């Protein structure tokens, strides 16, 4: 997509009924996401009663991320990669380790992880929660859009690998699920 086409798309999207203003940088970010992640088949922006973004993976055609604005405050600044203190709790959780029989739910994007739909609300899931495909397990905020992340597998959540309001990377493990639990 050329810069001119992105600008035209941003202008068109601002005129969609119910669509909140979309900045050129947001459209550029979505276009860059398509270029950088070959597993993403499409990105669809919807209006009417709130802006939503649906991202589908190639091959299965099932929406894996559905985004909608939520009640969180201003976006947090993201520390640069590797800015964690060595030996900290987050590093221990991010280190790859063998988890026999557990399946992983990974982040489909870079952003900020939220365990609940709004501050102070109950989390979507806790360790021991049974999940099914399509069930929302968390939110990842990216480019001021709240993306509901859905489970792709059925099972029992055994581990939550990220703390609330922490930055996450593309492909980072968010949850470990026991499909036999």
Spans of all domains in the chain: 3-61, 89-178
Q: What is the pLDDT of residues 32-79, one digit of tens each?
A: 777 777 777 677 766 544 556 666 665 544 444 444 333 333 333 333
**pTM for the complete prediction?**
0.50
- Measured distance CA(128)–CA(98) in Å, rounded: 19
DSSP 57-94: ETTT--EEEEE---S--SPPPPPPTT-SPTT-HHHHHH
CATH node for 89-178: 2.40.50.100
Q: What is the pLDDT of residues 122-167, one digit of tens each?
A: 999 999 999 999 999 999 998 888 999 999 999 999 999 999 999 9
Q: Is 164 helix (H, G, I), strand (E, B) or coil?
A: coil
């Amino acid at each position: 997509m050329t810069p001119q086409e992105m600008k035209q798309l941003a202008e068109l999207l601002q005129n969609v009924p119910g669509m909140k203003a979309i900045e050129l940088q947001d459209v550029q970010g979505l276009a860059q996401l398509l270029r950088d992640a070959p597993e993403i088949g499409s990105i669809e922006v919807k209006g009417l009663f709130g802006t939503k973004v649906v991202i589908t993976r190639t091959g299965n055609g099932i929406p894996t991320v559905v985004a909608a604005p939520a009640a969180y405050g201003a976006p947090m600044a993201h520390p640069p990669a590797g800015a964690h203190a060595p030996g900290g709790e987050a590093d221990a959780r991010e280190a790859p380790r063998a988890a026999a029989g557990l399946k992983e739910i990974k982040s489909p994007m870079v952003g900020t992880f939220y365990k609940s739909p709004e501050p102070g609300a109950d989390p979507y899931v806790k360790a021991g929660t049974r999940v099914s495909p399509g069930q929302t397990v968390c939110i990842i905020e990216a480019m001021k859009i709240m993306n509901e992340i859905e489970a792709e597998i059925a099972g029992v959540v055994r581990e939550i690998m990220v703390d609330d309001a922490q930055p996450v990377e593309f492909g980072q493990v968010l949850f470990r699920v026991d499909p036999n639990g």
